[in-house]
Amino acid sequence: MGLFLLKRTLTLLGTLIGASVIVFLVLEILPGNAAQMLMGPDASPDAVAALATKLGLDQPAWTRYWHWIGGLLTGNLGDSYAYSSPVIDLILERLALTVPLAVMAMALTVVIALLVGVTAAARHNKLGDVGLMGMAQVGIAIPNFWFAILLILVFSVQLQWFSAGGFEGWGEGIFAGLKSLLLPALSLAVVQAAILARITRSAVLEVMREDFVRTARAKGVSQRMVLWTHVLRNAMIPVITVMGMQFSELLAGTIVVENVFYLPGLGRLIFQAISNRDLIVVRNCVMLLAAMVVIVNFVVDVLYAVIDPRIKASDI
């Protein structure tokens, strides 16, 4: 297990470094002179140069890159161009909303998907299966922001159970905070759950065709028990892989959904930063999101090995 972890960790670091290079190239080098962009085309060259020096933009690319990486590790991400306040503070403040939102959405996704997927597989080719999978097909086709709008239409405009957007903040109590996150989390979860349910169902069906299921039944284990004790753990192997990939889709989804509900989260911060041409905020937020995606994939890989004892042995 030790060697496996080591190799995976090295891959993780490599990917993080690669991603940081891409982010830096695209958001720092490509745009050209950030100071010029911030001040606009009419600013005087002296003012632009002064700002450039202040922001450290006159140093060579290499130096700026290392400076940034060092900052990432120490937590000093510089100051926002637009707000002149530390980027790290801005990000942490927004994360307090986005992380719980993503976690809630992931939890909803997993619960819905497993229930639907296993149920459909157990009723293979019968009405329950066809019905559930039909719903899943529709679920995949629905844009998450449209579903969010529909949820608002039904639950906020018609039924008035929830507000149409905004976040009360955790100061009002955990329950109130979670309540404002419920509709956003649901709109994120429905699409991902639909995808995951289909994968769960086909994974379960595949595993049920394996020989060891027949052996278990020959021992007298009932069909239901076989499903939950023998099949599920084997079926989880491909399911968890997909869950890992879905987390990145989920994070991407938060960018859009936060805008639908006017939630002051990371996604909305990126969006506003783009409008303000606040590239330093964009750069750090994007890096953060990419890092979250990569780390989650790493965790998935490790979970993989925990669930399937064959991986530890064979995969070096």
Partner 1 sequence: MSAILSPSVPASSAPLAPGFWRRAVKHRSFVIGGVFALLLLLAALISFVWTPWSPYAMDMANKMQGPSATHWLGTDAFGRDVASLLLVGARASILVGVIAVGIGLVVGTALGLLAAARRGWVEEAVMRLSDFTLAFPAILSAIMMTAVFGAGIVNAIIAIGIYNIPTFARITRASANAIWSREYVAAARACGKGSFAITMQHVLPNISAVLIVQITIRFAIAILAEAALSYLGLGTQPPQPSWGRMLSEAQTLMFQQPLLAVFPGMAIAFAVLGLNLLGDGLRDLLDPRLARAR
Partner 2 sequence: MPLLEVNDLHIGLQTQRGPAEAVRGISFSLERGETLGIVGESGCGKSITVMSLMGLLPSTAKVTGSIKLDGQELVGLPEKQMCQLRGNRIGMIFQEPMTALNPVHTIARQVGEPLMLHRGLTKAQARKEALDLLDRVGIPDAASRLDAYPHQFSGGQRQRIGIAMALACGPDLLIADEPTTALDVTIQKQVLDLIQGLVAEMGMALILISHDLGVIASSVQRMLVMYGGSAVESGPTDTVFADRAHPYTRGLFAARPALGAVRAGRLPTIRGSVPELVDIPRGCGFAGRCDFTTDACHTTKPPVARQPNGHAVSCLHLDAVAAHATLAAA
What are the residues binding partner 1 (CB under 8 A)?
14-15, 18-19, 22-23, 26-27, 30-31, 124, 137-138, 140-143, 145-146, 149-150, 152-153, 157, 164, 202, 205, 209, 248-249, 251-253, 255-256, 259-260, 270-271, 273-274, 279, 282, 286, 289-290, 293-294
Site track for partner 2 across 120-149, x = CB under 8 A: ------------------------------
CA distance 76 to 57: 17
| Segment interacting with partner 2, rule: CB under 8 A, options 45-53, 109-117, 176-184, 218-226 | 218-226
143 binds, among partner 2, partner 1, none (CB under 5 to 8 A by kind): partner 1
Helix locations, the chain, DSSP H:
2-24, 34-39, 45-54, 61-74, 87-122, 127-141, 144-151, 174-208, 211-218, 223-225, 232-260, 266-275, 279-307, 309-314
Spell out the residues 6+ positions from residue 60 whose beta carbon is closer than 8 angstroms to its own: none
CA distance 256 to 38: 25
214 binds, among partner 1, partner 2, none (CB under 5 to 8 A by kind): partner 2
220 near partner 2, judged by CB under 8 A: yes
Query: Least Å distance between CB 5 and partner 1?
Result: 19
259 binds, among partner 1, partner 2, none (CB under 5 to 8 A by kind): partner 1
Query: Least Å distance between CB 153 and partner 1?
Result: 5
223 near partner 2, judged by CB under 8 A: yes
- For residue 177, count CB atoms less than 10 angstroms from its CB and return exposed for 0-12, middle for 13-18, buried for 19 or more: middle
Query: Least Å distance between CB 311 and partner 2?
Result: 10
308 binds, among partner 2, partner 1, none (CB under 5 to 8 A by kind): partner 2
CB 100 within 8 Å of CB 254: no
User: Between the CA of residue 232 and those of 106, 212, 215, 306, 308, what are the distances in Å?
Assistant: 19, 13, 16, 15, 12
Query: Least Å distance between CB 211 and partner 2?
Result: 4
10 near partner 2, judged by CB under 8 A: no
CA distance 265 to 268: 5
Query: Least Å distance between CB 187 and partner 1?
Result: 12
Task: Name which of residues 232 to 251 contact partner 2 (CB under 8 A).
Answer: 233-234
- For residue 232, count CB atoms less than 10 angstroms from its CB and return exposed for 0-12, middle for 13-18, buried for 19 or more: middle
CA distance 212 to 193: 29
79: β partners: 86
Residues in the site for partner 2, rule: CB under 8 A? 210-212, 214-223, 230, 233-234, 307-310, 313
